[in-house]
Structure 1
Amino acid sequence: MIVGSAGSPCTSWQQSIPVASVAVGTPPSSDAEQPGGNAGGKCARDYRHGVSDLHDRRFADLDVGLFHDLLRLRVDVFVVEQACAYPELDGRDVEPGTRHVWIGGGNGDPVAYLRVLAEADGSHRIGRVATRTDRRGGGLAGRLVDHVVASTPGRLVLDAQSQLEDWYLAKGFVRTGDEFTEDGIPHVPMAWGD
């Protein structure tokens, strides 16, 4: 059982995001309180697999230092590496329905990340999928996407960089529209589920 900061079972998390079918890890074995507590009625959730930890948390469950590290990874990949000068801070990270999902390396620093936005139409949008350059090729982004697919009810949507379309197709996503250019990079809209 996972418990919130007040010591009560986290049934609100379990009702909103089923975890029984999560294939990328197992829930922590301890009944101890989870980091971040139960702010906003949602529980922080961590999954163990190997030497890395997969974390799935709402903004209210993040401390300032951790949020900085997550944003730094995103900026390093999208703004610096891909040379996309765009407003990385779009205001959606702090929305109550936004989930921040990442894998921490051996020292706890984020090495792979994505966010899930709750959209007005009831779908969930995957975005900002980023892996640190020295950790690419190890399946970390795949673990994150697999976790989100397994733990998110309903329809998932994303705008994949065109070079990654086949990767998302292999994960069960389907293309839903024509290619378009965003920040100078070709993308395709894709979806999974209902």
Structure 2
Amino acid sequence: MKWVKKTFSELHTQELYDILQARVNVFVFEQNCPYEEVDGKDQEAIHLVGYVGDELAAYSRLFLPSAEREHASIGRVLVKKEWRGSESGKELMRQSIHVLEEDYSQQTIQIQAQFYLDRFYRSFDFTPISEVYLLDDIDHVDMLRTKRSK
């Protein structure tokens, strides 16, 4: 898989369309969760896209700390249906963590994880920091990862 990291202003129109289409397909249609996917936060995000050939296969949205956010974060983590089961999700998380820790020197990363993926995220050293809560009709848990010393 080829990985591309871009800010909002670096995205071409077709790239943005492909990202939004994938997010709507996974989070709105597949998960049967009608919510406002285009949330006004893409402009401040770092967009990490995994391509197989010219096709978007995996995606995550990364944020650096800000006035609204104490820690860096990873969100909108998705692997398109046809690429699931191929270790693409693990590769996506490794790449997302690498970008934040190595390219942006972030020591702590927070996620709002869908609770059914708790074990998956724990395998990347994320630990729960909240009780399970309902968000958009899906159980979630907040998790935190602190970079390990080398």
RMSD of aligned Cα (Å): 1.2
Cα distance in 2 between the residues matched to 1:130 and 1:118: 19
Q: TM-score, normalised by structure 1?
A: 0.69
Shift of 1:119: 3.3
User: Is the CA contact 1:104–1:112 (under 8 Å) kept in the aligned structure 2?
Assistant: yes
| Cα distance in structure 1, aligned partners of 2:31 and 2:138 | 9
Residue-pair matches, total: 140
One-letter identity of the residue aligned with 1:72 = Q
When Rg is computed on C-alpha atoms for both structures, the one with the higher figure is 1
Q: Which runs of 5+ in 1 are unaligned?
A: 1-51
Matches of 1:71 and 1:109 in 2, distance apart?
Answer: 14
- Of 55, 62, 68, 1:109 maps to 55
Q: Is the 8 A contact 1:103 1:112 kept in 2?
A: yes
Residues in 1 aligned to 2:85 and 2:49: alpha-carbon distance in whole angstroms: 16
Corresponding position of 2:94: 146
SS in 2 for 1:70: helix
Q: Tell me, in whole angstroms, the C-alpha distance in 2 between the residues paired with 1:132 and 1:101.
A: 14
Q: Secondary structure at the match of 1:144?
A: helix
| 1:55 paired residue number | 4
Q: Structure 2: where are the runs of 5+ without partners?
A: 101-105
SS in 1 for 2:125: coil
Alignment of 1:124 with 2:77, yes or no, is: no
Q: How much has 1:118 moved relative to structure 2?
A: 2.3
Q: Please say if 1:187 is aligned against 2:140.
A: yes
Amino acid at match of 2:73: R
Q: Point out the more displaced range, 145-154 or 58-67.
A: 145-154
Work out the percentage of aligned pairs sharing the same amino acid.
29
Q: TM-score normalised to the size of structure 2?
A: 0.88
Residues in 2 aligned to 1:187 and 1:116: alpha-carbon distance in whole angstroms: 18
Structure (1/2) with the larger strand percentage = 2
